[in-house]
């Protein structure tokens, strides 16, 4: 598959979420809800991995499969969280920290935003059609309606969610370093619950679901509450994204080797991706340092 449709799908999705949220005068909680809607659209409709047992021939739905749902909550919870956090929120936070002067304002005018929406829809259509041609699979009517209903619910929730106008919570926020450590640990626990090294966990799916839920909820609730405490700054937001990004970097090697085996080309490609990610992180932290008062 050409990379351009994927750029339109992922990049366009992140850009649309960010622009709409900032035009509404909202923040990261609204973005998170919109990001869940994006994840549902991509994996439930465009790619259909939530319901297609033959996708990539990796048996993604075998572990924890529930016939009544037509999916595996283990895989569904994992891939939806991956897109919510790493495909959408982390890139948005990094972009805003790299372009700090417009961090809380729209980057595009109305025509640009419309173009971004159209580009995203085009990317989704091309990727979806290509996926259907490859697998001949599309979710059933009930599955499709259910996914669209969930997408609608997340969008409505995001629109209804408004910034708190009251005083912040008592207590002080963690240091940025501790914030990064928190997200790194929680995200590491979350990705390891999916057996990235292929050793084969011999635990019931319910246990894996519980570990995933605890890791994700701990991170989301902790960051949500800490962000309302006195002393929370843009440095903390960047630190939270940094911890998650670091996890994604080292986990990428494990996923690459467990699926495709160890190859020099695979190692080189992953090293390039990590180098680019670290360069963006370093650039964002330098912008932060330059913006701090002397």
Question: Are 235 and 176 spatial neighbours (Cβ–Cβ below 8 Å)?
Answer: yes
Q: Which two tokens stand for residue 235?
A: 């440095």
Which residues 6+ apart lie within 8 Å of 227 measured at CB? 28, 173, 236, 237
Identify the DSSP state of 42: I
- List % helix, strand, coil for the chain (3-state, nearest 5): 70, 5, 25
Distance from C-alpha of 266 to C-alpha of 270, rounded to nearest angstrom: 6
Average pLDDT over residues 62-74: 94
- The last residue of a domain, from among 163, 187, 210: 163
Distance from C-alpha of 129 to C-alpha of 182, rounded to nearest angstrom: 40
Long-range CB contact pairs, 114-120, < 8 A, 24+: 116/12, 116/15, 116/16, 116/19, 117/12, 117/16, 119/8, 119/12, 120/8, 120/9, 120/12, 120/13, 120/15, 120/16
Residue 197 has pLDDT above 70, yes or no: no
Same domain, 142 and 185: no
Interval 31-51: pLDDT, tens? 999 999 999 999 999 999 999
- Maximum CA pair distance of the chain? 61
- The last residue of a domain, from among 146, 163, 180: 163
Same domain, 129 and 11: yes
Residue 280 has pLDDT above 60, yes or no: yes
Please give the pLDDT value at position 2: 79
Same domain, 157 and 183: no
Which of these ranges, 151-155, 197-201, 263-267, 274-278, has the smallest mean pLDDT?
197-201
Backbone dihedral region of 196: left (phi > 0), alpha (psi from -120 to 50 degrees) or beta? alpha
Which of these ranges, 1-5, 195-199, 256-260, 264-268, has the smallest mean pLDDT?
195-199
Interval 224-247: pLDDT, tens? 999 999 899 999 999 999 999 999
Residue of 127, 143, 134 lying closest to 47 (CA atoms): 127
Please give the pLDDT value at position 162: 87
Same domain, 180 and 158: no
Average pLDDT over residues 151-157: 98
- The last residue of a domain, from among 134, 163, 192: 163
Q: Could you give the angle at the alpha carbon of 248 between the alpha carbons of 245 and 250, nearest 5°?
A: 110
pLDDT-derived band at 199 (thresholds 50, 70, 90) equals: low
Per cent of the chain over pLDDT 90 is: 81
Question: Are 31 and 19 spatial neighbours (Cβ–Cβ below 8 Å)?
Answer: no
pLDDT-derived band at 201 (thresholds 50, 70, 90) equals: low
Please give the pLDDT value at position 291: 77
Same domain, 198 and 77: no
pLDDT-derived band at 200 (thresholds 50, 70, 90) equals: low
What is the total residue count of the chain?
A: 294
Same domain, 192 and 117: no
Average pLDDT over residues 151-170: 89
Please give the pLDDT value at position 195: 65
Same domain, 158 and 180: no
Q: Which alpha helices (H) appear in 161-260, and where do they start and end?
A: 176-192, 205-226, 234-260
Strand partners, 229: 169
Backbone dihedral region of 25: left (phi > 0), alpha (psi from -120 to 50 degrees) or beta? left
Same domain, 134 and 197: no
Which of these ranges, 2-6, 76-80, 153-157, has the smallest mean pLDDT?
2-6
- Which residue segment(s) compose the domain that 154 sits in? 1-163
Task: Please provide the average confidence, as pLDDT, over all residues in the chain.
Answer: 93
Same domain, 95 and 196: no
Instruction: Please give the span between the terminal C-alpha atoms of the chain, in angstroms, as a whole number.
Output: 49
Same domain, 19 and 124: yes
Residue of 271, 215, 270 lying closest to 244 (CA atoms): 215
Distance from C-alpha of 250 to C-alpha of 252, rounded to nearest angstrom: 5
Residue 1 has pLDDT above 60, yes or no: no
Interval 87-137: pLDDT, tens? 999 999 999 999 998 999 999 999 999 999 999 999 999 999 999 999 999
How many independent structural domains does the chain possess?
2
């Amino acid at each position: 598959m050409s990379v351009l449709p994927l750029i339109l799908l992922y990049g366009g999705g992140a850009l649309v979420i960010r622009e709409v949220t900032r035009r509404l005068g909202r923040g990261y909680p609204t973005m998170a809800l919109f990001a869940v809607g994006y994840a549902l659209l991509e994996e439930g409709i465009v790619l259909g991995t939530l319901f297609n047992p033959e996708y990539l021939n990796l048996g993604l739905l075998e572990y924890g499969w529930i016939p009544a749902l037509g999916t595996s909550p283990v895989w569904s919870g994992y891939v939806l969280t991956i897109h919510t956090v790493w495909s959408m929120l982390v890139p948005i936070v990094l972009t805003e920290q790299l372009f700090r002067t417009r961090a809380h304002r729209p980057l595009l005018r109305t025509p640009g935003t419309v173009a971004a929406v159209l580009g995203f829809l085009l990317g989704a259509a091309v990727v979806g059609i290509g996926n259907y041609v490859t697998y001949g699979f599309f979710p059933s009517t009930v599955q499709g309606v259910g996914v669209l209903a969930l997408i609608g619910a997340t969008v409505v929730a995001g629109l209804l969610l408004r910034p708190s106008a009251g005083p912040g919570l008592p207590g002080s926020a963690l240091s940025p370093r501790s914030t990064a450590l928190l997200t790194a640990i929680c995200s590491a626990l979350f990705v390891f619950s999916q057996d990235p090294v292929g050793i084969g966990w011999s635990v019931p799916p319910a246990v894996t679901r519980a570990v995933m839920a605890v890791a994700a909820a701990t991170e989301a609730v902790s960051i949500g509450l800490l962000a309302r405490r006195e002393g929370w700054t843009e440095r903390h937001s960047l630190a939270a994204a940094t911890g998650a990004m670091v996890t994604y970097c080292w986990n990428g090697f494990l996923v690459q080797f467990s699926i495709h085996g160890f190859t020099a080309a695979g190692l080189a490609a992953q090293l390039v991706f990590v180098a680019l990610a670290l360069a963006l992180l370093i650039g964002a932290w330098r912008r932060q340092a330059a913006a701090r008062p002397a």
